[in-house]
Structure 1
Amino acid sequence: MSDLDVLHTVASTRVDHGGPSRSVPFLCEALADQGASVRLVTAVPESNSTDEFILPGAPVDTCTVEETGGLQQALRSPLAFYRALRNEVEQAPPALLHDHGVWLPSNAAAALVAWKEGVPLVVSTRGMLTAWALRHNRWKKRLAWTAYQERVLRQATLFHVTSQEEVDALRELGFDQAAAVIPNGVPLPDGSDGLSASTDEHRALFLSRIHPKKGLPMLIEAWADVAPENWVLELVGPSEGGHRKKLERQVRRAGLEDVIQFSGPVADDEKWDVYRRADLFVLPTHSENFGIVVAEALAAGVPVITTRGTPWNDLEEYGCGWWVEPDVEAIAGALGQATALNDTERAEMGRRGRQLVEEQYSWSGVAEKMVAAYQWVLAGGRPPDYIRRA
């Protein structure tokens, strides 16, 4: 395995930049544990910044490009990112370059380096080509599509996706390259054994970015409809584009200030305690390629409500949650059922969820599949059964 040298690129590993900021460092570590030689090129905050970011530990070799004036400014002029990446490739050409994400100039920089150096390119689309994602900020994405993004995707030797929905989205856009359907993994927290001790007040938790994509207006309306007795709803995460202020106004208009609480972002090493304090986790999202927070909640032993905008049909199959349409009525129905259960019933659902994560979403299993996909790209032969070809 030591001859498998993979260079990963991702725009940022800042905690408040969504799922890839967590999953990419974990993937790099898991690949290294499988014996691959792994490098990561990413941007990090300026040295005097208080922003929290995640980097993989040894033996992953990480090249960090310092942000100057914030990530968006740095990525509008991605010359430093391009130079750092090209230097890495020229010094030690990798067998593969694996780029994560879509729409950012850093993705164009990664594709350009791969093309110039003749290195096969793997692209993780990270749910950014689904119908909802394409509608959000539509005009900016159309400009990016014309400027560079379509050419970047045409260059990919292999796509990495986490659900069949992403494969379908690629085909609808006219891309016929092979796609490896490999879910994200999740680290298993220590000492997680079902829900926290019962109290008179129960807690439902949302933990993710406070962003229009996450469907929180639907959740607030559904909560007002159900009005579960002795329950509070806690919304945890960083606000983007002033979205939290809009939600706070909605909460005030509905008279729910006493039962819906807003919290800021939580440090990565503190999030497991936040999960364990919850009796129920809710992600009312419009669209997710995976939904890492769903896996984390299950790993912490908490049953989950999420929508069919995620690929989490396992919730129903394993009896550890509710998988419903992304609308107010369906979310309210699931809330009514979940909050009507007793503590023992919810705890049993949580234990089944923990077992599901242990069996199917370990990082070691994810890395094994990714290594096999890389080897198929390099050597050919019969593809693994999770490779989808047009």
Structure 2
Amino acid sequence: MRRDHDGRRGRPSRVSDAPQRLGLSESFGRGARPVPARGGCCGTGAVAGDRVGEPASKRGILADGLGRAAPRIAGKDRRVKVVHAIAFAGRRSYGLGAVAGNIVAEQRRAGIDASVWCLDTDTEGADALRDYGLEPAAMRRFKATGPRSLGFSLDMERAARAADAAVIDVFHEHGIWTGVSHVVSSWSRRHRHPTVIAPHGAMAPWALRRSAWKKRLARWGYENANFSGAACFHATSALEYRDFREYGLRCPVACIPNGVKDEWLASTGDGARFRAKYGIEPGRRILLFMGRLTPVKNLVRLVEAWAATGTTARDWVLVLAGAPEFGYEVQLDERIRQLGLGDAVRAVGGIHGQDKRDGFAAAECFVLPSLSEGFGMVLLEAIATGIPAIATTGASWEILPKEDCGWWVAPDADGLAGALAAVFASPPERLAGMGRKARALAERDFAWRNVCRQTGSLYEWLRHGGTVPPFVKLD
């Protein structure tokens, strides 16, 4: 039996209902390497006597250099004030900005004083406000210092260190390896308030290997201090939780999945309009991929699996909707040409807004063949529109076959080919039935209002202590 930080008995740490259905309850606490017995969240920079699992207002990382406890950050008589910090909240952030923007929108509706700090331009910011249904007061934009790709703003740093920033109760960071981490860490050290870090897949082994030398510099420059000072990390899936422990993080982890907007659930799309816009014949059945065209998405392996299915795919077309990165489209185009799939694969570029909704309406199935995913937000959006999905074991979506609303396979040619063959052999009415189950799953387990309730409980625990929230893991 665990005890809370005031000496009272607390509930044993467990995960919430929604993460359990994602497989979190089966995976949390198992399969991680032993964590080094070192101070701090990642084993560096903590004050002696730091106690993992305590609220941030009592933990050593928020004490001064002499080990004196930091003061409580706010009384319980006012609503919590939270800043969600992210390099870019607009469309250039892909799914990351949507997560931050939608959390802010739902939290504001629930009475939390939440806002976004970002480096978007005025045009990008206006698009983001419209996309997430936010009023201008909910977003504070800062001018980037140096190359925008670094994600650093001296103006944001100054704002975080200013005296009036002390009224902010929690900084919730989305994404890592950018200059925003330096800002978040500076704010925490200056005002001795708690921070929550949500890497959103950026600590997966595949992600850590990419541009590893840059990440080593970032760790040395600011990220180690940011990790050490964090009161809590935020995992959106079982795989991400294990990534944290494999990395060596020792701090509490809040296990909270992403959500889907009520407005998205209520929206409709026009599949015929999508077909007409992108020249897809009415008789062709559509398998849709949506996301960045980048190596981690494993699209070369997907088209190889498609070719392996032979003539069973003749009535289908694979639509790739997304912007290319790292020159990956050259390799992908060459492989499509070698396999003779020029007529079977259509790349339509990045799509947003109503185009995106129309794409889901036109598709009979969605595929996310990634080698690694922190959560897979676009897959949630897909099933919420009522279509089944193929996911790989690179993402924590084992719930799909359990609920008979999709496939969960290895990210290799055999696994993907098997799932594709099953899709191609399924009549439209079978896929439509699976799609109805997929939508029911999204409505039941992944509403933003549930995410809002859990994050609100997390912030209150970080502010005032008490019983550990059931979705927070201390081991």
TM-score using structure 1 length? 0.92
Q: Is the 8 A contact 2:202 2:208 kept in 1?
A: yes
Rounded Cα–Cα distance in structure 1 between residues aligned with 2:316 and 2:350: 22
Q: Is the 8 A contact 1:214 1:285 kept in 2?
A: yes
Equivalences for residues 145-156 of structure 1 within 5 A: 145-156=219-230
Rounded Cα–Cα distance in structure 2 between residues aligned with 1:320 and 1:389: 33
Rounded Cα–Cα distance in structure 1 between residues aligned with 2:202 and 2:336: 29
Q: Which amino acid in the other structure matches residue 215 of structure 1?
A: N
- For residues 143 and 103 of structure 1, do their structure 2 counterparts lie closer, same or farther at Cα, with a shift above 3 Å needed? same
Q: Which amino acid in the other structure matches residue 315 of structure 2?
A: N
For residue 82 of structure 1, the aligned residue among 143, 157, 178 is: 157
- For residues 50 and 91 of structure 1, do their structure 2 counterparts lie closer, same or farther at Cα, with a shift above 3 Å needed? closer
Q: What's the CA shift for 1:96? A: 1.0
Tell me the SS of whatever aligns to 1:189.
helix
The residue number in structure 2 matching 1:352 is 437
Tell me the SS of whatever aligns to 1:232.
strand
- For residues 81 and 245 of structure 1, do their structure 2 counterparts lie closer, same or farther at Cα, with a shift above 3 Å needed? farther
Rounded Cα–Cα distance in structure 1 between residues aligned with 2:125 and 2:331: 26
Alpha-carbon RMSD across the aligned residues, in angstroms, is: 2.4
Deviations 1:121-171 (A, max 9, x none): 111121111111111222221221222212211110011110122222222
The residue number in structure 2 matching 1:62 is 139
For residue 113 of structure 2, the aligned residue among 24, 30, 37 is: 37
For residue 72 of structure 1, the aligned residue among 129, 135, 149 is: 149
For residue 318 of structure 1, the aligned residue among 374, 389, 403 is: 403
Q: Which has the larger radius of gyration?
A: 2
TM-score using structure 2 length? 0.77
Q: Is the 8 A contact 1:193 1:351 kept in 2?
A: no
Tell me the SS of whatever aligns to 1:44.
coil
Q: Which amino acid in the other structure matches residue 105 of structure 1?
A: G
The residue number in structure 1 matching 2:420 is 335
Greater strand content = 1
Deviations 1:85-139 (A, max 9, x none): 445x625621111111111111112211221122211111211111111112222
Q: What's the CA shift for 1:63? A: 0.5
The residue number in structure 2 matching 1:106 is 180
Q: Which amino acid in the other structure matches residue 100 of structure 1?
A: H
Rounded Cα–Cα distance in structure 2 between residues aligned with 1:45 and 1:202: 39
Q: Is the 8 A contact 1:134 1:141 kept in 2?
A: yes
| Structure with more contact order per residue of length (Cα contacts < 8 Å, sep ≥ 6) | 2
Q: Is the 8 A contact 2:271 2:359 kept in 1?
A: no
Runs (5+) with no aligned partner, structure 2: 1-76, 276-280
Is 2:250 the counterpart of 1:176?
yes
Q: Which amino acid in the other structure matches residue 367 of structure 1?
A: C
Q: What's the CA shift for 1:16? A: 3.2
Rounded Cα–Cα distance in structure 2 between residues aligned with 1:370 and 1:130: 23
Aligned pairs, how many? 386
Is 2:3 the counterpart of 1:3?
no
Q: Which amino acid in the other structure matches residue 218 of structure 1?
A: R
The residue number in structure 2 matching 1:13 is 89
Equivalences for residues 374-385 of structure 1 within 5 A: 374-385=459-470
- For residues 245 and 5 of structure 1, do their structure 2 counterparts lie closer, same or farther at Cα, with a shift above 3 Å needed? same
Rounded Cα–Cα distance in structure 2 between residues aligned with 1:90 and 1:50: 23
The residue number in structure 1 matching 2:43 is none
Rounded Cα–Cα distance in structure 2 between residues aligned with 1:41 and 1:264: 28
